[in-house]
Structures are given as C-alpha cells and as structure tokens.
Amino acid sequence: MTNSISTDITVLEDACEALAQQGWAARLLRHWLRDEVDVRLHVCGPQPWLEVEVLGPYQPYDAMPVADRWAAVRVDAGDRVVWLGPQRCCASGELLQFTLALLQASVAELEVGYCRLS
C-alpha cells in the first residue's frame, strides 16, 4: 500500500470516528477488487432513505482527472449523485465538513460549495 493511500485511509478512519462520536451511524467498508482494496466511509443519514459513501483510494480512480479530490455518493431515496469535495490533501476536518454537508444540506446548498458530477 503506497504512502498516499495509507494517508487517505487514515483520514477516512479519523472522519469515521468523529462521525460516530457525534452519533452518526458510520463505518468503513473494505472490499478487495483484484489486488486493490476499495475503502469507503459509509454514513447513514438522519432519514432512513439518505446515506453517503465517501470514496477512498482505489487505484483505477487515480487515472481520473478529479483523482486529487474527495468524491462521495449521496443516495437520497434511491437517487445516486456523485459530489466532488475538498482536495485529498485537506485536513480531516474538511472531509468531515463535506460529509456532514452531504448528510444535512439541500441540493441547492450543496451546489454552492461543491461540484455535482452526476
């Protein structure tokens, strides 16, 4: 595992712990795809139909032009939308703020500070 990948996973672990301490149902999901680990921070929203998955490091994503930013999938009543957040090199507090925004803000509010990909 490269140093940047282990750093990204540490940031996700820190965000997961902080969210859990604030009462959110948060957990890290780890799936092996070929020889790579796909790590995601999964958080259940305040309503049962809302959840967020912050995408962790995964080698095939590195070729994407937005690989230097955190990306997350917001699932709202079955509608899946991918959002781009802060730079991957950000402090863990910025990733936490991005995740909380996806859980609590309206789409209109999210579009002010973040980029909607789908």
13 φ, ψ to 5°? -60, -40
Q: Look at the alpha carbons of 37, 41, 44, 50 in this order and tell me if their dihedral is positive or negative.
A: negative
User: What's the CA gap between 79 and 75, in Å, rounded?
Assistant: 5
Give the dihedral sign, CA 35/37/86/107.
Answer: positive
> What pLDDT score was predicted for residue 1?
46
Note if the pTM is more than 0.95: no
Least Cα distance to 68 among 39, 89, 41 occurs for 89
Quote the domain boundaries for residue 71.
3-116
pLDDT of residue 43: 97
Q: CB-based contacts of 72: which residues, under 8 Å, 6+ apart?
A: 52, 53, 54, 55, 82, 83, 85, 98, 99, 102
Number of domains in the chain: 1
Give me the tens of pLDDT residue by residue for the chain, a chain 118 residues long: 455 778 888 899 999 999 999 999 999 998 887 777 788 999 999 888 999 999 987 655 555 656 788 999 999 998 999 999 999 888 888 999 999 999 999 999 999 999 998 7
